[in-house]
């Protein structure tokens, strides 16, 4: 089953639904979950077993089930995922450094260093045009090969039916260097799938899940690596999918950048959370379900680029949301 909002934390959609349902008052066993969701008993039992093993659900006396506190258990899962991302980034950096020190002949077939503005632009366009199935990329300033507006290789790939997914760094969109709203609308029309993340970790392109371009944009000597190593390609694809899952739809990101404000409903929800109310209390006050509160909190976390509710509070103050 496809992951839901909590998919980046390792929960299936079914596990997420069961967990959220067990947060509802009066639901404390498999039968109650089945009744609320109208789901298959075997599937619910399997999901409960998985949640029990990971400590997301606890079994109390009398075989009563209770969802563990979200802020603690989900926050811990988020921290673990963040640590995995950091480890992956360190592995990528180590591999890049290793290339500089080991025998060039050993890696000649796996890693190519490309330098020089014209050579980089030509090699970049060639790599994109060689894609057959999918291109996944992180867009982050500064542009050293080509700007998004002048990326003909991307337009050629889209025109040939290649799936193109892009995560844009929010700071890049806010820079004002390019008319991004119009550009993104044009690229969306061509078929590009796009999201925005608060902090894209580095510049990267993954082609057909087997070729990676790692772009080093720091002056005075920018360059990029063309890597054909399957292990590194898998790592980079995993990093991309994780950031993609946390990314925000472009329409929401651009709207927030334009107004700098939240809706009145979101402001009220955020104020209640920061005042110390539980999700259940917020749900009762706003006359919505606890599940809706959870979904709206996840949206605010993604909008703020925060990984926890504590970070959300700091970002809310920084952005004058409250």
Is the CA virtual torsion 18, 22, 25, 31 positive or negative?
positive
Checking if the pLDDT of 193 tops 60, the result is yes
Pick 316 or 87 by higher pLDDT.
Answer: 87
- Residues 269-279 as b or e (16 or more Cβ within 10 Å = b): bbebbeeebbb
pLDDT of 212: 92
What are the backbone dihedrals phi and psi of residue 239, each rounded to the nearest 5 degrees, phi first? -60, -45
Mean pLDDT of 123-136: 88
Residue closest to 6 by CA, chosen among 72, 70, 86, 88: 70
Give 22-71 pLDDT, tens digit per residue: 888 888 788 888 888 888 888 888 988 888 888 888 888 767 888 888 88
**Distance from the Cα of residue 316 to its chain's centroid:** 20
**Distance from the Cα of residue 141 to its chain's centroid:** 18
Long-range contacts of 267-272, Cβ-Cβ distance < 8 Å, separation of 24 or more: 267/321, 267/322, 269/293, 269/296, 269/297, 269/300, 270/300, 270/312, 270/316, 270/321, 270/322, 271/322
**Domains of the chain, with CATH numbers?**
7-68 (1.10.10.10), 77-248 (3.30.870.10), 260-318 (1.10.10.10)
What are the backbone dihedrals phi and psi of residue 213, each rounded to the nearest 5 degrees, phi first? -110, 115
In angstroms, the CA 284 to CA 273 distance is 13
Least confident of 89-98, 139-148, 257-266: 257-266
Least confident of 98-102, 119-123, 167-171: 98-102
Pick 181 or 313 by higher pLDDT.
Answer: 313
In angstroms, the CA 172 to CA 178 distance is 9
With 0.75 as the threshold, say if the pTM is over it. Answer: no
In angstroms, the CA 266 to CA 322 distance is 10
Give 69-94 pLDDT, tens digit per residue: 888 888 888 888 888 888 888 898 88
Question: Quick one: what percent of the chain has pLDDT higher than 70?
Answer: 83
Least confident of 1-15, 36-50, 81-95, 267-281: 1-15
Give 194-226 pLDDT, tens digit per residue: 888 777 888 899 999 989 999 887 777 888 889
In angstroms, the CA 137 to CA 164 distance is 8
């Amino acid at each position: 089953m496809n992951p839901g909002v909590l998919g980046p934390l390792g929960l299936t959609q079914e596990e997420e639904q069961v967990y959220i349902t067990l947060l509802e008052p009066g639901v404390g066993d498999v039968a109650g979950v089945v009744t609320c969701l109208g789901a298959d008993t075997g599937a619910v039992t399997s999901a409960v077993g998985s949640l029990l093993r990971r400590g997301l659900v606890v079994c109390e006396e009398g075989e009563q089930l209770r969802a563990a506190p979200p802020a603690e258990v989900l926050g811990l899962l988020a921290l673990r995922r963040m640590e995995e991302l950091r480890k992956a980034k360190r592995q990528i950096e180590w591999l890049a450094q290793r290339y500089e020190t080991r025998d060039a002949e050993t890696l000649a077939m796996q890693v190519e260093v490309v330098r020089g503005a014209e050579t980089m632009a030509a090699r970049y366009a060639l790599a994109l045009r060689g894609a057959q199935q999918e291109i996944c990329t992180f867009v982050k300033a500064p542009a050293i090969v080509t700007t998004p507006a002048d990326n003909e290789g991307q337009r050629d790939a889209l025109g040939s039916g290649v799936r193109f997914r892009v995560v844009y760094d929010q700071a890049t969109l806010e820079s004002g260097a390019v008319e991004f709203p119009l550009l993104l609308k044009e690229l969306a029309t061509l078929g590009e799938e796009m999201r925005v993340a608060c902090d894209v970790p580095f510049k990267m392109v993954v082609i057909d899940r087997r070729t990676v371009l790692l772009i080093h944009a720091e002056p005075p000597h920018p360059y990029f690596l063309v890597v054909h190593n399957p292990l590194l390609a898998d790592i980079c694809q995993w990093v991309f999918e994780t950031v993609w899952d946390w990314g925000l739809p472009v329409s929401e990101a651009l709207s927030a950048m334009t107004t700098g404000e939240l809706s009145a409903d979101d402001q009220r929800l955020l104020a209640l959370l920061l005042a110390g109310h539980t999700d259940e209390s917020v749900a009762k006050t706003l006359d919505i379900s606890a599940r809706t509160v959870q979904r709206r909190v996840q949206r605010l976390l993604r909008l703020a680029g925060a990984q926890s509710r504590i970070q959300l509070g700091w970002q809310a103050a920084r952005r004058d949301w409250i």
